[in-house]
Amino acid sequence: MKPASFAVILLGGTLFGFGLAFSAMIRPEVVLSFLRLEDLGLLLVLGGATGVTMIAYQLIPRLSKRPVLESAFDTKATRLSASTIGGAAIFGIGWGLCGVCPGPAFAGLGAGNWMLLLALFGIFAGAFVHGRTTRV
């Protein structure tokens, strides 16, 4: 990848992180209050983010053969399987227990929430066990 691509990814990630902080998603308490259906704000965050991204993902490949800096658009090719659903179920149980998902686990550190290092450690450990128990 070109150096300029890394710069754009850093900038895009910065917007992403700023949005997570602005919408209070870096606070596990706010996520848990959504999951207890006390404050439905998370749906607006997910809806707003998905809406903008959908316009980009659907429109840009129709207007241009390749991204500005690289040779091709990524296409994620997960097929629906028992792992997709089983993994999502396990992910949800963990998310409901701690109120932290992968984005905010990183982003929250930027606001000095060091307790999130515990969640980050847990996520890395979970991904390690997954990798070591999955055949290539």
Partner 1 sequence: MGHFPNGWLHYLIGGLLIGAGTSLIFLFTGRVSGMSSVFTTTWSYFSDSPFFRQAKHLQSRGWRLVLAAGLILGTALWWWWLGPREASKTTVPAWQLLVGGFLVGYGARLSDGCTSGHGICGLASLRPPSVAAVITFLSTAIATAHIVAALGGR
Residues numbered 38 to 97 that lie near partner 1 (CB under 8 A) are 38-42, 44-58, 60, 66-74, 76, 78-81, 83-97
Q: How far apart are the first and last CA of the chain?
A: 25
DSSP state of 65: S
Q: How many residues bind partner 1 (CB under 8 A)?
A: 117
Taking the complex as a whole, how short is the minimal distance between the CB of residue 96 and partner 1, in angstroms?
3
User: What is the token pair recorded at 70?
Assistant: 């690289």
Q: What would the two tokens of residue 86 be? A: 């089983």
Name residues contacting partner 1, limited to 6-45 (CB under 8 A).
6, 8-30, 32, 35-42, 44-45
Least separation in angstroms between CB 77 and partner 1: 9
Q: How far apart are CA 88 and CA 86, in angstroms?
A: 5
Amino acid code (one letter) for 64 = S
Letters for 106-125 (x = contact with partner 1 by CB under 8 A, - = none) are: xxxxxxxxxxx-xxxxxxxx
